[in-house]
């Protein structure tokens, strides 16, 4: 018997299903990976974009530091890695995450710093000539770049009439703060004595007598009865006491609102500045002693300082400054206010003095100046250039008093000292302060007038600060 057998046909159903499922899962997986890669690239690119700004600002920071360190003499800017090309100076600096290319262009009154930050674009290592050349090392990296340009202006520490760490007290009657510019005939008057600078003239006064306090407490600034032709600013949380008939504002406001408080927008509570401690000058070539008793023009002076650096114990008596002198005082500055003794400091018109009070107390009084056309007044540098007399107080200096004088023309910077302009009897003294003052606290007694010389802001040590910031 022959029984035929049927062979079973091969079936591929399971294989097809498995292939279909695997294909579907593969598509899903590929989609996942593509999406994740897209997100990662997006995130990385954004991070690189933001990082390039930080690197560009690195270039701005370095440019600003270089400008402030070496910018006072323009021809030394081509140092410390900076390359000079005319009035433009460039620097390239590498970092592990990229590099910047910065440039400084120095103008007459300002400087422009430009910086480009470069950060490798994520996943963008490309070949200049295909994969083979890339393998041979001929590669080019694409970068994400951002460009910043800032304009820098010079400022001096004396950009305000009165600046204090803790408080300003202008509570007395008839206290006035205003401003003038001794090198602008429109806001000062030359006295005809042959000097280049002008004198304060109330008819030409301006309203830049700004006062400011760093601290932020109630009534940091007390001007209850004073007239401030300028802005008043305290630190955050601080306030200005205007409980009396005080007035703050511009000339027009003060002239027409003599007892109506502050002009809107002329007071604020966001003062943000520092008054750094004074360091003694270095190098300082001391060793020369001032001349002792010397008679000049019929007047006998206890000390005469010519051009040079002096370190003295006490500064007192009848003092004449004839040259460009720097004087460090370690003992005491104390001038007797008895008019008969004629003690005080007198400056020649061409003299310039920086006094460093490295001592606790300073008392300065006015004296009659025999060599001045203004000899009938008691003063310290009366009629003189305010930038020719600067009194610095180190942290040891905690008290400065000016008293018995008609005029003080100069600058006082003593961030740890309580500074008082004592007026005495209005019958004898006028108590006019021309210049600028910075201290821990500043007090003007009644009848005192403070005239800020705006020219001070153009002189003395200056630093560059950023005035405008632009991303290109």
Partner 1 sequence: MFIKPIRAHATAGVTLVELMFAIPIGMIAMVAVLSFASYTGRSFAALLNYADLEQTSRNALDTMTSKIRGTSALTGFTTNSLTFKDADGKSLAFTYDTAKKTLVWTKDSVSTTLLTGCDQLDFDIYQRCSTNGTFDQYPTSLQASNTKVVQVSWLCSRPMIFSRLNTQTAQSSKIVLRNQ
Under the binding rule (CB under 8 A), the answer on residue 3 touching partner 1 is yes
Under the binding rule (CB under 8 A), the answer on residue 5 touching partner 1 is yes
Q: Out of 20, 217, 428, 469, name the contact with partner 1 by CB under 8 A.
A: 469
Nearest-angstrom CA–CA distance, 133 and 39? 30
Residue 26 backbone phi and psi in degrees, to 5 = -65, -45
Cβ atoms 98, 52 nearer than 8 A: yes
Under the binding rule (CB under 8 A), the answer on residue 35 touching partner 1 is yes
- At 407 the three-state DSSP class reads strand
- Select the span of 267-275, 346-354, 392-400, 442-450 touching partner 1 (CB under 8 A): 267-275
Under the binding rule (CB under 8 A), the answer on residue 38 touching partner 1 is yes
Nearest-angstrom CA–CA distance, 248 and 231? 7
Q: Residue 367 CB, nearest distance to partner 1 (Å)?
A: 43
Q: Residue 4 CB, nearest distance to partner 1 (Å)?
A: 5
Binding mask 354-383 for partner 1 (x = CB under 8 A): ------------------------------
Take residue 331 and report the two structure tokens written for it.
Answer: 């003992």
- At 198 the three-state DSSP class reads coil
Under the binding rule (CB under 8 A), the answer on residue 34 touching partner 1 is no
Under the binding rule (CB under 8 A), the answer on residue 43 touching partner 1 is yes
- Select the span of 25-33, 137-145, 323-331, 366-374 touching partner 1 (CB under 8 A): 25-33
Under the binding rule (CB under 8 A), the answer on residue 6 touching partner 1 is yes
Nearest-angstrom CA–CA distance, 352 and 370? 18
Closer CB to partner 1, residue 74 or residue 159? 159
Nearest-angstrom CA–CA distance, 222 and 246? 9
Residue 386 backbone phi and psi in degrees, to 5 = -65, -25
Under the binding rule (CB under 8 A), the answer on residue 31 touching partner 1 is yes
Nearest-angstrom CA–CA distance, 16 and 10? 13
Nearest-angstrom CA–CA distance, 382 and 362? 19
Under the binding rule (CB under 8 A), the answer on residue 26 touching partner 1 is no
- The DSSP bridge partners found for residue 441 are 167, 418
Q: Residue 29 CB, nearest distance to partner 1 (Å)?
A: 10
Q: Residue 467 CB, nearest distance to partner 1 (Å)?
A: 9
Nearest-angstrom CA–CA distance, 458 and 156? 7
- At 252 the three-state DSSP class reads helix
Q: Out of 8, 73, 109, 128, name the contact with partner 1 by CB under 8 A.
A: 8
Q: Out of 107, 237, 281, 313, name the contact with partner 1 by CB under 8 A.
A: 237
Nearest-angstrom CA–CA distance, 82 and 89? 6
Sites of contact with partner 1 (CB under 8 A): 1, 3-6, 8, 28, 31-32, 35, 38-39, 42-43, 46, 49-50, 216, 235-237, 265, 268, 270-272, 466, 468-471
């Amino acid at each position: 018997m022959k029984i035929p057998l049927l062979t079973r046909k091969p079936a591929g159903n399971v294989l097809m299903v498995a292939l279909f499922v695997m294909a579907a899962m593969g598509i899903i997986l590929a989609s996942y990976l593509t999406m994740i890669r897209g997100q990662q690239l997006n995130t990385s690119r954004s991070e690189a974009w933001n990082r390039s700004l930080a690197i560009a600002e690195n270039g701005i920071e370095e440019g600003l530091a270089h400008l402030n360190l070496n910018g006072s003499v323009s021809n030394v800017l081509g140092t410390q890695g900076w390359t000079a090309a005319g009035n433009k100076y460039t620097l390239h600096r590498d970092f592990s995450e990229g590099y910047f290319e910065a440039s400084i262009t120095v103008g007459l009154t300002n400087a422009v710093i430009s910086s480009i930050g470069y950060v490798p674009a994520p996943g963008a290592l490309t070949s200049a000539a295909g994969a083979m050349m890339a393998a041979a090392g001929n590669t080019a990296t694409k970068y994400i770049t951002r460009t910043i340009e800032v304009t820098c202006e010079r400022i001096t520490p004396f950009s305000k009439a009165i600046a204090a760490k803790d408080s300003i007290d202008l509570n007395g009657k008839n206290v006035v703060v205003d401003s003038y510019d001794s090198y602008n005939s429109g806001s000062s008057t030359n006295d005809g004595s042959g000097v280049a600078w002008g004198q304060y003239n109330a008819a030409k006064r301006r309203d830049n007598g700004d006062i400011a306090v760093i601290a932020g407490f109630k009534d940091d600034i007390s001007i209850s009865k004073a007239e401030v032709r300028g802005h008043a600013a305290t630190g955050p949380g601080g306030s200005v006491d205007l409980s009396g008939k005080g007035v703050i504002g511009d000339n027009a406001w003060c002239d027409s609102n003599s007892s109506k408080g502050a002009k809107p927008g002329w007071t604020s509570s966001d003062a943000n500045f520092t008054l750094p401690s004074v360091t003694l000058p270095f190098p300082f070539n001391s060793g020369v002693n001032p001349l002792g008793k010397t008679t000049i023009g019929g007047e006998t002076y206890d000390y005469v300082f010519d051009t040079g650096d002096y370190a003295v114990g006490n500064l007192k008596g009848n003092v004449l400054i004839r040259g460009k002198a720097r004087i460090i005082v370690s003992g005491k500055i104390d001038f007797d206010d008895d008019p008969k003794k004629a003690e005080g400091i007198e400056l020649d018109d061409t003299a310039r003095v920086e006094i460093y009070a490295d001592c606790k107390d300073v008392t300065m009084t006015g004296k009659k100046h025999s060599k001045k056309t203004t000899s009938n007044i008691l003063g310290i540098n009366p009629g003189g250039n305010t930038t020719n007399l600067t009194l610095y107080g180190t942290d040891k200096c905690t008290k400065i008093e000016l008293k018995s004088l008609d005029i003080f023309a100069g600058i006082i910077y003593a961030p740890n000292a309580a500074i008082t302009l004592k007026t005495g009897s209005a019958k004898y003294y006028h108590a006019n302060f021309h210049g600028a003052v910075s201290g821990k606290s500043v007090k003007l007694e009644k009848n005192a007038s403070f005239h800020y010389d705006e020219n001070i802001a153009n002189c003395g040590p200056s630093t560059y600060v950023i005035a405008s910031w632009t991303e290109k």
